[in-house]
Structure 1
Amino acid sequence: MITTLLTLEKSLFKYENCRDFHFLNHILHSDFMEYGTSGQIYNREETIALLQTVQTDRPIIIHSSKILKLTNTHWLLHYVSENQESGIISNRSSIWVKTQSHYQMFFHQGTQTDEVKDLQEMIK
């Protein structure tokens, strides 16, 4: 499951997916919301509009990740990312929902941090 959800997360780093309204509409749950690293809160429409301004692939790598099963259809994904262009490191969390046909991101939060930590050691 972690591989599937990380692949979906990484798909949002790609220019062609960020510019594709149908893709974003498909992957973001209708009740989606995000707490950005800036502290700003975004709803689904604002997130789609923001992602559609992306001009290139976002050079983000994932250093560490951990998944927690919340229910049979909901998962909490934690990961540490680093933007290779800006050097910004973020602790990120997403809640993913399994619908009848696919997975959708229900919630996302990014919090800027100073260092990469191993989530396997941090979250037991």
Structure 2
Amino acid sequence: MQGAVVVADQLRSVGVDVEAVRARAEATFGPGALDRGPHRRRRRRRHRWPFTADAKKALELSLREAVRLGDRHIEGAHVLLGMLRAECPAGRVLEPALHDAGTDVPALRTAVERHRRAA
């Protein structure tokens, strides 16, 4: 939950209406699209999660952001930065909400990196 709070704070810091983003995500991907799944004990899974090509690209770019920043793990900020890269199709979902909030991708990237350094 902590990662979600940090990302929400970063979005708010550049004027993004987080509830509007949530509403848009739910309209696009279905109710509860941004909700965290239930906690379960870790078990060995026999199947793989069926990630879409866009989700795989977002995760790949998140890893690249973590490496670029010298981090050894991926957090919410890395995922957001990965999604905001030009080559990530998933980032296009955020662009209208950012525009409605009077900001853009470069401003949000700057705010995320500034917030990350301050933390």
Assess same fold via TM > 0.5: no
TM-score tier by shorter-chain length is under 0.3
Q: Which structure dedicates a bigger proportion of its chain to strand?
A: 1
**Which protein, 1 or 2, shows the higher relative CO under an 8 Å CA cutoff with sep ≥ 6?**
2
Q: Normalising by structure 1, what TM-score?
A: 0.27
Q: Normalising by structure 2, what TM-score?
A: 0.28
